[in-house]
Amino acid sequence: MGDGKAIFSVLAINHPGVLLRVSGLFSRRGFNIDSIVASSTEKPAFSRLTIVVTGDEATFTQLTRQLLKLEDIIKVEVLEPDECSNSELLLVKVHAAGAGRGPVIKMVQTYGARVLDIGESSITVEMTGQTEETDEFVEHLERFGILEMARTGINALQRGDLTIHDED
């Protein structure tokens, strides 16, 4: 069985330490986290973790069962990256001085990104999108010189009307 990626969408009780419990479980049992996002939800009592994991089907099943053993975890949905709405946020500061600014701004427009800040010799850009598209954008920016960047990791929701609150 080959390794693939899955997006774990995890509904948790909004207790302090829940992120530590989840990340501790991953490291203790040797599961690999590509990215993890924790955020509040429409219900203040709950928080939502979106975790991208590399592994095979057996790993994903075992991980789901282990997550559900944690007292603070309410629900776990495993989403296929290609079959859900997912997006991540990129902030990147690119070298752009004088005549070099034009091509950077053109690239930003091509990818539907947005300029957040312009410095004396740099431009800070924001982009949201799927991981592959973001990777591609970053690759193009590299030739201008990336000064620093930060990515949030993937956030995801199921497609259609279904939500994590629905019964399976």
**Binding interface with another protein (CB under 8 A):** 17, 20-21, 24, 28, 58, 61-62, 65-66, 68-72
> d(Cα 1, Cα 72) in Å, to the nearest integer?
31
Instruction: Give the contacts of 73 (CB within 8 A, at least 6 positions apart).
Output: 10, 11, 12, 13, 18, 22, 67
Taking the least distance from each CB to another protein, the nearer of 28 and 106 is: 28
The CB-of-76 to another protein minimum distance in angstroms stands at 12
Element (H, E) at 60: helix 57-69
Element (H, E) at 37: strand 32-40
The CB-of-68 to another protein minimum distance in angstroms stands at 7
Per-residue b or e along 70-86, where b marks 16 or more CB atoms closer than 10 Å to that residue's CB: bebbebbbbbebeebeb
The CB-of-28 to another protein minimum distance in angstroms stands at 5
The CB-of-114 to another protein minimum distance in angstroms stands at 39
Taking the least distance from each CB to another protein, the nearer of 44 and 98 is: 44
Taking the least distance from each CB to another protein, the nearer of 14 and 130 is: 14
Task: Using the structure block, give the residue that is written with the tokens 């799927």.
Answer: 130
Taking the least distance from each CB to another protein, the nearer of 78 and 115 is: 78
Taking the least distance from each CB to another protein, the nearer of 21 and 140 is: 21
The CB-of-113 to another protein minimum distance in angstroms stands at 40
Per-residue b or e along 31-59, where b marks 16 or more CB atoms closer than 10 Å to that residue's CB: beeebbbbeeeeeeebbbbbbbbebeeeb
